[in-house]
Structure 1
Amino acid sequence: MSTTVFFAVIGAALLHAAWNALVKGGADKTLSMGAVVIGHVPLAILALGFVPAPALESLPYLICGIALHFGYQMFLLLAYQNGDLTQVYPLARGSAPLMVALFSVVVLGVHLENLELLAIAIIGTGIISLALVRRSDGLRNPKAATFALITGLFIASYSIVDGQGARVSGSSVGFFAWLAIANGLLMALFLAIRHPETLKAIPKKGIFILLVGGGASFIAYALVTWAFTQAPIALVTALRETSIVFALLIGVFFLKERLDLLKVFSTAMTLIGALLLRYAR
């Protein structure tokens, strides 16, 4: 993995942790999630003025990606409504690279070096250990863990689909821009049907999250989508999960969530795995 791709994905990880913290820290998590997703649309429209349109061959991937991203957002919202950022976020993100690596090697026939496989395993296993973390009130939270793992399955699925689609499209940013617009419209439709008052409140109560969270989320995944075209999808997905480090720091210092040795251990393993990925090739 080149230095440029490596630091682009690290930057995406920081942005990703930041918008997740905005959603988790918001009083109305449905409003926050809706604002972030709808907030993709202005930047996506702007991006389309500067990049080529994706090739028609990528349309099936685009349609599938839209559905998977929406499913991811729904289950992430459920997870955040039931658990702490420092439990939900790492478990959802940590399970995804293991699933992606397994699918890439077994189904897609992607060759990964032994050191790369070891790095992915270290990152994924270390983060998944956070399933043992207790809630802020000191109790176990299997419900949040279940929702987080389902979220991880959606992350793995859309990562593979988006990675393949970006490569076929010939324009990774154009591919993601159209996906983001469709996803934003789908979220607005969902809110209009299920939570009409929440949709009406976004321009007043959620404008900061729409602009800042939506902007951070769009840029983060635009970087990741581009990275999918430059390096194996499994490696990009695993490296992106270094966002656990940023999420842990935000959760502890800004959201006042508890810190324990298991979280520190998981973070250390994530950093070790990231370093191994950097120097594996």
Structure 2
Amino acid sequence: MWQTLALGALFFPGLFAVSVRSLRWLAPAWSLKDRIVLSGRLVSSVQAMMATLSGIIVIFSCEDVVHDRHWIAREYMWVVVSYMAYDIYVMYLCHWHKCEEKGEAHPKYSLASVNSFLQRERLMVTHHLFILIVLTPVATHFRGELGDFFVGCIYTAELSTPFVSLGKILLQLKMQDSALHKVNGVLVLVTFFLCRIVLFPFMYWAYGRQAGLPIYKVPFHIPLHCNVANALLIAPQLYWFALICRKALRLYRAPPAPDRAR
């Protein structure tokens, strides 16, 4: 536990710092804000791929979805803890530098600056804090020795993150009209829908298959707190999916840019 937590606490900030410094050499014309924002997205993608791989390993290793154990399900949760704490700080850095570029920044680390950040990113911060304060104790202690399969499923929800990050990177590089951006938009929709929306009915179906229950009866045969936790997890995903669909409609309905005479 402590070793994994310490490694995560070193790995993510270290990778972020290396990325910021590398971009200073690779793209000297970029502002510090641009380097920080891009580096944050790159580290986010790395963590997402690690989480997805961990989840797939756990899912395919657990034939009994309730009782089978896998060490990655327990150990990777401490990687998630270190990443979430790191990511809240990086989100704050990105927010502050964006405000500074617009001339709207309060003094760094001041109460006004932190309050501005919390208002702007309240949903993401709430999501991160929910994982740290609620989901982590449940996944590491209160569930006992049950449900590694379902923990693995939750890890795979990160599959959409690299595509979300790539879309933002392409916007940052002013490639929003490229074919790659449109293809990536489709991948964002598909992976987000499958791994953050369909994932929850899939977990109920997997339990029902093992227990010999139709999926609609599963919520009445599992503890209430499991249903509540799933509802709290899927609620922001539905909100974000609606936002993604709205952006996708704007992207694919937008008329092509007119050719400019050279």
State TM-score, norm by structure 2.
0.34
Greater Rg over alpha carbons, structure? 2
Q: Does 1 or 2 have the higher relative contact order (CA < 8 Å, sep 6+)?
A: 1
